[in-house]
Copies of this chain bind each other. A is one copy, B any other.
């Protein structure tokens, strides 16, 4: 048995998300379908981050076990040859059998992109926000979540987890003209957490929520307190640290 690690980029616009689901095409499902064809055996592909429908990845990491002797370079080329063009494998390598894309990951980084004017060319990976936004206030809110916190207020109700404690090591907003960019790195993320954080920080940036209220939302540990979730299209899983 061998364990193969993949580095994957995808445009999530036309998928139900990373995870296999009955209601449509998933990234995981597409990769498993092509691997089955290439390796002539059924494989289970484990992803480091289970991105939602419409969410993208520049640096998703996945792994699968196989009894095939096909070289990693052949697997890599066959995947890119057979996958649809909105999924690209950047790297394939053999790793120790105990490597697990999800459980071995120590940190994940997501980015979020907002445009304050509509954009045709970037519309698939940017959220158009019609309000004028104070990025300094948003960056203050971003800085307030750095450290170890209970993020229950920013977690989807159905999330099946024991606790909501995450350690955020980086959380920063920056602006380049009409484009705002958020970057957040943490040891783990709860379901819907980045989009809920971004939506609430947009409320801060447009003056609807004060910094004090933002801190109260974080303290409340109550999912009803947070703002509307930001659109899936602005979110990109950038990288995984092992």
Contact = CB atoms under 8 A, between A and B. Distances in A.
State how many copies of this chain the complex holds: 2
A58 interface: yes
A90 B121 CA distance: 13
A88 B128 CA distance: 12
B80 A120 contact: no
Nearest to A83: B120
Interface residues of A, number: 20
B118 A80 contact: yes
A184 interface: no
A147 to B, nearest CB: 31
Most chain B Cβ neighbours within 10 Å, of A10, A80, A85: A85
Contact of A86 (B86, B87, B90, B123): B123
A120 B123 CA distance: 15
B11 A123 contact: yes
Interface in A41-92: 56, 58, 80, 85-88, 90
A237 to B, nearest CB: 11
18 contacts: A9-B119, A9-B120, A9-B121, A11-B120, A11-B121, A56-B121, A58-B121, A80-B118, A85-B118, A85-B120, A86-B120, A86-B123, A87-B120, A88-B118, A88-B119, A88-B120, A121-B125, A124-B124
Interface of A: 9-11, 56, 58, 80, 85-88, 90, 117-121, 123-125, 236
